[in-house]
Amino acid sequence: MQLYQEQTLKITNSLTGKKEIFKPINEGHVGMYVCGPTVYSNVHLGNCRTFMSFDMIFRYLRHLGYKVRYVRNITDAGHLEDDADTGEDKIAKKARLEKIEPMEVVQRYTVDFHYILDQFNFLPPSIEPTATGHIIEQLAIIKDILEKGYAYEVNGSVYFDVKKFNEQYEYGKLSGRKLEDMIANTRELAAQSEKKNPQDFALWKKAEPQHIMRWPSPWGDGFPGWHLECTAMSTKYLGETFDIHGGGMDLKFPHHECEIAQAEASNGHSPVNYWMHANMLTMNGKKMAKSTGNNILPGEMFSGENDILSKPFTPPVVRFFMMQAHYTSILDLSNDALLASEKGYHRLMDAFDNLKDLEPGETSDFDIREWRQKCYDAMNDDFNTPILIAHLFEAVKHINLIKEGKEKISAPDKALLLKTMTDFICDVLGLEHKSESNHDTNKLQGVVELLIQLRNEARSNKDFATSDKIRDQLAAMGIQLKDGKEGTTFSVS
């Protein structure tokens, strides 16, 4: 018997706003699609949090014994700067500014995306399709929607007719918006607009002469609409109706709303049974944005080369930090929060190490089976990782008491505890356990902090020769000191 037959998993469905018992379309199999990155810049931490949430969900579904087909796409064309189908293609604009081919931009940032996700110990998806690799499928869907009367062609562009669609279906049901209200709150169409209504969206856009990325179509050279790409790729690999569609909260409208409309117009029924949305990551209580400087890249966190955090933080620590919040909650990144997570991570891993060396007795003072089910109950309640982590620290407390000789554990219970801790820490939460390197890092940090203290004392005594010698010899070993308002920090190159 598989674990999923013993455990009852509930998922918060964004479409209904309710927590529902998860029942896959096909027994023992799950089809899951997650909107991937538009590869025109380095992947940022907000993206990483969304993808990490679905990596955790993928891991838990697999742990329960489901065979999961996880599809996460790469958007390498068609994502314009504005949701109103205006502006340049983000990738083409980057290519124009840097005077390189668009596919060079795509390659550079796809490599960066994979590298950062590897650092965070992500499992690869089952399939990672690209938008440019599925132009034929997108053209077929456009033709189908046109034939059914839910789209129209103007001057080489094809637009989805939202008003016509809404006569038979409901546009806005995912985001809770009413088309009538959207129309009432929208300014008149600009004189140059080709759309019948402002809410209509592009299925295919005519490529102007200067547009680099273009493909032939029955309506002339052009490129696909961003929303259409996901409909084509998800239905190709998961079928007309599949189990789970995920993405960031910011994609709920208009992107996911348009996906639903396209699929219903083409196939006549809803494409997804469970819609899931991960919430945003803020920093120091504010939205992360490059324009304000309130932004940090994953690599800058790992290296310590930034003006925001007091020290470098390893990928497992950052992953642990993110797992401490429910995927539907806003999570605020700060130096203090990361320092607290680092302490918690090492405390958890130290106990995990100690567990293996515990001497078993005849009896147990800790009910492992009851505790184990509480861990499952947390994950079965819409993947509640913060509650799971609280239960893991309950086990940490008992492990420490057993080590001190204040409690006992039997050999069978020790084996079950070790298996359960391994399952949830490594397999479900995806936390890499490198005990030796953890201890080495702690030792290095202690030694360097002692040298920083000695350097500070030398500077106070105006012994600049000793101060400079400490700094220079550390630099020669690849340890860079950085003096700032909050004191001296270091990074290892």
Q: What is the pLDDT of residues 324-381, one digit of tens each?
A: 999 999 999 999 999 999 999 999 999 999 999 999 999 999 999 999 999 999 999 9
Which CATH number characterizes residue 130's domain? 3.40.50.620
The total number of structural domains that make up the chain = 3
Residues 457 and 424 in one domain: no
Residues 374 and 453 in one domain: no
Residues 158 and 102 in one domain: yes
Residues 137 and 261 in one domain: yes
The per-residue DSSP string of 356-396 comes to HHPPPBSS-SS-HHHHHHHHHHHHHBT--HHHHHHHHHHHH
What residues does 483 pair with on adjacent strands?
A: 488
Backbone dihedral angles phi then psi of residue 484, each to the nearest 5 degrees:
-145, -175
Residues 261 and 299 in one domain: no
Angstrom distance (rounded) from CA 138 to CA 218: 12
Residues 231 and 337 in one domain: no
Which CATH number characterizes residue 396's domain? 1.10.730
Residues 372 and 465 in one domain: no
Residues 357 and 385 in one domain: yes
Backbone dihedral angles phi then psi of residue 89, each to the nearest 5 degrees:
-65, 130
Instruction: Say if residue 436's pLDDT is above 50.
Output: no
Both structure tokens of 482: 């950085």
Angstrom distance (rounded) from CA 52 to CA 378: 18
Q: In 27-178, where does DSSP find H-type helix?
A: 45-63, 90-98, 102-119, 135-147, 162-166
Least confident window among 84-93, 154-163, 259-268, 484-493: 484-493
Return the ∠ at Cα 290 (arms to 285 and 293), rounded to 5°: 60
Q: What is the pLDDT of residues 202-230, one digit of tens each?
A: 999 999 888 888 999 999 999 999 999 99
Q: pLDDT category, 235, cuts 50, 70, 90?
A: very high
Give the model's pLDDT for residue 489: 79
From 252, 278, 304, the end of a domain falls on 278
From 428, 453, 474, the end of a domain falls on 428
Q: pLDDT category, 437, cuts 50, 70, 90?
A: very low
Residues 86 and 235 in one domain: yes
Q: For residue 475, what are the domain limits? A: 436-492
Q: pLDDT category, 444, cuts 50, 70, 90?
A: confident
Give the model's pLDDT for residue 80: 83
Mean pLDDT score, 49-66: 98
Residues 333 and 452 in one domain: no
Give the model's pLDDT for residue 442: 63
Mean pLDDT score, 256-279: 97
Both structure tokens of 165: 């669609």
Give the model's pLDDT for residue 374: 98
Residues 411 and 456 in one domain: no
Q: Which of 55, 71, 77, 110 is nearest to 236 (CA)?
A: 71
**Residues whose CB is less than 8 angstroms from the CB of residue 218 and which lie 6 or more positions away in sequence, other chains included:** 139, 143
Which single residue is written with the structure tokens 């596919």?
Answer: 103
Instruction: Say if residue 191's pLDDT is above 70.
Output: no
Angstrom distance (rounded) from CA 480 to CA 474: 7
From 399, 428, 457, the end of a domain falls on 428
Residues 450 and 419 in one domain: no
The DSSP letter of residue 424 is: I
